[in-house]
A = this chain, B = another copy of it.
Amino acid sequence: MNRITQKLLGLVSGLSGRPGGAYNIREDSRCAGRQNSEHIRIEQKTDKPGIDIIVRAGTRGETVYIPACITHSAVDDLVYNDFYIAEGADVTVVAGCGVHTEGEADSRHNGIHRFFIGKDAHVRYLEKHIGTGGGTGKRIIDPQTVCEIAEGGLLEMDTAQIRGVDSTKRVTRARLERAARLVIREKIMTYGCQSAVTDFEVELNGTGSGTDLVSRSVARGESKQLFRSRIYGNAACSGHSECDAIIMDGAEVSAIPELTARHVDAALIHEAAIGKIAGEQIVKLMTLGLTEEQAEAKIIDGFLK
């Protein structure tokens, strides 16, 4: 595990050194460390790059770390990680990805994650993305998350991409059975010439299933953001999607939510708002002694918290 990986691990997973319990650390398309725990087994795939993470029944409040780091230019990393979560298990998955470039060539991480969440299982999924380094090569992260949530299962996704990623396309697909739930909280900030695309698609197939998608973003500089969400209500279910974006400088933001109700007891709601920071908020903080830049930073911090 090289020094850059050590630094990135702290940024994306809050780790200093190797964690206790189950983990798999991916460094420049190779495995830089792996450990199983009593309840969680991690197995190398044999047909393609990636791992299977098998969380056994009886797992309670355990955390598994599977960060991926790219530490130089000219890496194009593609990985398939599958999560098998047994009935009734309760687990936290800390994913996250850091891409560091010093050179002129682009580096990219493309992680395709599939979750098979058993009956009444509960997964918290934390995914932080970051780009670092002074290279002109683009830092690209394109995550795909595909979820099948069985009866009574719950997936809580918490994703954040606050700095350094030049281009990202974030695709999430989910199918929910009876009484299953999916909660997503997304935070994105882009600046310079960065671009970020979010694309959620949720099928509410089971009676009593529900989803709550909330995206908050800040677009600065000349950056571009596109938020898409599609919720299909195919049963008695409830769905809510919300997209709030702060636009600054010469940025461009699009929000395209899509609701489709195919059942009389599907209740679907969407809200979206795009606007700049209110002038009064800045003036108020400036009267408390902050400079304009400090006031702006404070408001953005609060918005993305």
Known contacts A248-B264, A261-B247, A264-B248; is A255 also within 8 Å of B275 by CB? no
Q: What is the distance, in angstroms, from A222's C-beta to the closest C-beta of chain B?
A: 11
Q: How many interface residues does A have (CB within 8 Å)? A: 31
Q: Does A250 belong to the interface (CB within 8 Å)?
A: yes
B-side contacts of A257, CB under 8 Å:
256-257, 270, 272
Q: Is the CB of B274 within 8 A of A268?
A: yes
Find chain B residues with CB under 8 A from A270 CB. Answer: 255, 257, 270-273
Partner of A271, one of B233, B258, B265, B271: B271
Q: Specify how many copies of this chain sit in the oligomer.
A: 2
A253 to B232, CA, bound (A): 10
**A276 CB within 8 Å of chain B:** yes
- A192-240 contacts to B, CB under 8 A, are 233
B-side contacts of A251, CB under 8 Å: 264
Interface residues of A in 80-118 (CB under 8 A from B): none
| Interface residue ranges, A against B (CB under 8 Å) | 233, 245, 247-262, 264-276
Contacts A/B (CB < 8 Å), 30 sampled: A245-B261, A247-B261, A247-B266, A248-B264, A250-B264, A252-B260, A253-B261, A254-B260, A255-B259, A255-B260, A255-B270, A256-B256, A256-B257, A256-B259, A257-B257, A257-B270, A257-B272, A259-B274, A264-B276, A266-B275, A267-B273, A268-B273, A268-B274, A268-B275, A269-B271, A269-B272, A269-B274, A270-B270, A270-B271, A270-B273
